[in-house]
């Protein structure tokens, strides 16, 4: 049987050193109606009270995000939300356009940090 995976590479690893443990937090946030398609800049700063000072965010994933998906850009420290674009030609998922997030409150996201 042929393999369907062309390449596997380790991108990041964390939590192996007992002095550098990993943490999993579930955070809840409300987005403003003026959420910009450029994402939530400085996401780590926005949630530092919930995570604890000095934590490095490694990954963010939806727990109860009301049908939205999210992606975290660690280099830019920016969180983006995505939704279905079923009628468009841009593909099945696109970044949520500016001004469309007023109804999204109590979003629960999982945050893995170190």
pLDDT tens readout for residues 36-81: 778 888 888 888 777 776 778 889 999 998 888 999 998 898 999 8
With the CA atoms of 3, 60, 28 and 84 taken in that order, what torsion angle do they form, in degrees rounded to the nearest 10?
-60
Indicate if the pLDDT at residue 1 is higher than 60. no
26 against 88, higher pLDDT: 26
What percent of the chain is modeled with pLDDT above 90? 9
Mean pLDDT, rounded, for 8-28: 78
Q: How far apart are CA 62 and CA 114, in angstroms?
A: 19
pTM above 0.95, yes or no: no
Q: What is the pLDDT of residue 90?
A: 59
Name the nearest CA neighbour of 93 among 67, 75, 63. Answer: 67
């Amino acid at each position: 049987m042929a393999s369907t995976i062309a390449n596997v590479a380790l991108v990041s690893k964390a939590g192996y050193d007992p002095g550098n443990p990993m943490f999993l937090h579930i955070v809840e946030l409300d987005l403003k109606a003026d959420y910009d398609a450029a994402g939530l800049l400085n996401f780590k700063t926005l949630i530092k009270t919930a995570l604890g000072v000095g934590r490095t965010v490694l990954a963010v994933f939806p727990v109860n995000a009301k049908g939205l998906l999210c992606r975290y850009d660690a280099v830019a420290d920016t969180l983006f939300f995505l939704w279905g674009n079923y009628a468009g030609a841009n593909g099945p998922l696109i970044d949520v356009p500016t001004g469309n997030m007023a109804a999204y409150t109590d979003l629960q996201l999982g945050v893995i940090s170190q």
